[in-house]
Amino acid sequence: MVEKVKLIDVSKCTGCRGCQLACKQWNQQPARQTENYGTYQNPPDLQWNTWTLIRFQEVVEKDKLKWLFRKDGCMHCTDAACVKVCPSGALHYTDSGAVAINHGICIGCKECVSACPFNIPRYDRVTDKIYKCDLCLSRLEADLIPACAKACPTGAITFGDKDKMIKKAYARVKELGGDANVYGDKFVGGTHVIYVLQEKPKVYQDLPRNPSVPLTVTIWKDLLKPMSLLAAGGVIGGSFLHYILHGPKLPDEPGQEKGGE
Ligand code: SF4
Ligand code: SF4
Ligand code: SF4
């Protein structure tokens, strides 16, 4: 399969959250009762059962209030820190270039949670597994586009061959002018989710300006992992990795995840 990219043009997003709902529906992720946190952003953060989230942000420009909407979720890095660090091999690349997870072999070590430069994977203590977007692998295998792209009524999310989508992104930035820019094609080997941003990246909350694979992860992958005890099924390898990177493992605290469980 040719490498694919999901292009998110935030200038066309109306914040309707059709994509958020479509993601939940296709992936059969249960909704949770929620409450008013004083923002339309709901739930407040990504969760083990919310793999894509529209972030709402208010900015003041020339004394006028302006909404910024940004669809957040896995960026599907080419040089993915989560894949590098995963001791069991549960996180892996697919033919389209996306990063998917085999839950059957995830050991719940949460190393991918610490390593991801975009703060994406979320842990569920009930199943002792992590969860995140897999770019709708089951749909791609059936020649369908991701559910979020299919649902978007404004054309803010489009999906296609990598080269074509990157060209489209730069053409749109030219059309928009001002501070518009392409975000995603220049770091972590290029991501398979690319944004057209209206504002400079620093304006968007929760969006890293220069995301990179943490040095500890590179050291682990290139130097320590080959020497670790992965042959023992990943469990010992995972513990060894955690000890090397973070020290002794502490008990999981309830409510550690903002808005999660
Ligand atoms: S955004 Fe995070 S979870 Fe997604 S591929 Fe990159 S490192 Fe992995
Ligand atoms: S929790 Fe551990 S085993 Fe599971 S996907 Fe993340 S790094 Fe891999
Ligand atoms: S479906 Fe499209 S317009 Fe609606 S919130 Fe998602 S990206 Fe924005």
Residue 115 falls within a domain, yes or no?
A: yes
CB neighbourhood size of 253 (10 A):
7
Check residue 203 and report its DSSP letter. Answer: G
- What lies within 8 Å, CB to CB, of 61 at 6+ separation is none
Residue closest to 13 by CA, chosen among 184, 195, 140, 201: 195
Q: Does residue 214's CB lie within 6 angstroms of at least one atom of ligand 2?
A: no
What is the distance in A from the centroid of ligand 3 to the CA of 154? 7
Least confident span in 57-61, 62-66, 227-231: 227-231
Residue 238 falls within a domain, yes or no?
A: yes
Q: Report how many domains make up the chain.
A: 1
Q: Does residue 17's CB lie within 6 angstroms of at least one atom of ligand 3?
A: yes
Closest residue by CA, ligand 3 atom 6 = 19
- What number does the ligand 2 atom closest to the CA of 130 have? 1
What pLDDT was estimated at residue 36? 84
What pLDDT was estimated at residue 258? 39
CATH of the domain at 128: 3.30.70.20
The amino acid occupying position 42 is N
- What lies within 8 Å, CB to CB, of 156 at 6+ separation is 8, 9, 10, 11, 12, 13, 14, 71
Residue 255 falls within a domain, yes or no?
A: no
Residue 38 falls within a domain, yes or no?
A: no
Residue 260 falls within a domain, yes or no?
A: no
What is the distance in A from the centroid of ligand 1 to the CA of 82? 6
What is the distance in A from the centroid of ligand 1 to the CA of 101? 11
What pLDDT was estimated at residue 227? 61
Residue 261 falls within a domain, yes or no?
A: no
Ligand 3 pocket test, candidate residues 154, 159, 196, 197, most atoms within 8 A of CB: 154
Residue 35 falls within a domain, yes or no?
A: no
Please calculate the CA angle 236-239-245 and round it to the nearest 5 degrees: 140
Residue 98 tokens read as 């996306």
What pLDDT was estimated at residue 250? 54
pLDDT tier at 203 (50, 70, 90 boundaries)? Answer: very high
The answer to whether residue 238 scores a pLDDT higher than 80 is no
Q: Tell me the CA distances in angstroms from 6 to 13, 126, 135, 161, one per residue in order.
A: 14, 31, 8, 9
The answer to whether residue 252 scores a pLDDT higher than 80 is no
What pLDDT was estimated at residue 248? 58
Least confident span in 94-98, 187-191, 233-237: 233-237
Residue 15 falls within a domain, yes or no?
A: yes
The answer to whether residue 194 scores a pLDDT higher than 90 is yes
Instruction: Print the domain residue range for 59.
Output: 1-28+43-247
What pLDDT was estimated at residue 249? 53
What is the distance in A from the centroid of ligand 3 to the CA of 21? 10
What pLDDT was estimated at residue 176? 98
Q: Does residue 121's CB lie within 6 angstroms of at least one atom of ligand 3?
A: no
The answer to whether residue 261 scores a pLDDT higher than 60 is no
Give per-residue pLDDT as tens, 96-132: 999 999 999 999 999 999 999 999 999 999 999 999 9
Count of positions (residues) in the chain: 261
Q: Taking all residues of the chain, what is their mean pLDDT, rounded to a whole number? A: 88
What pLDDT was estimated at residue 75? 98
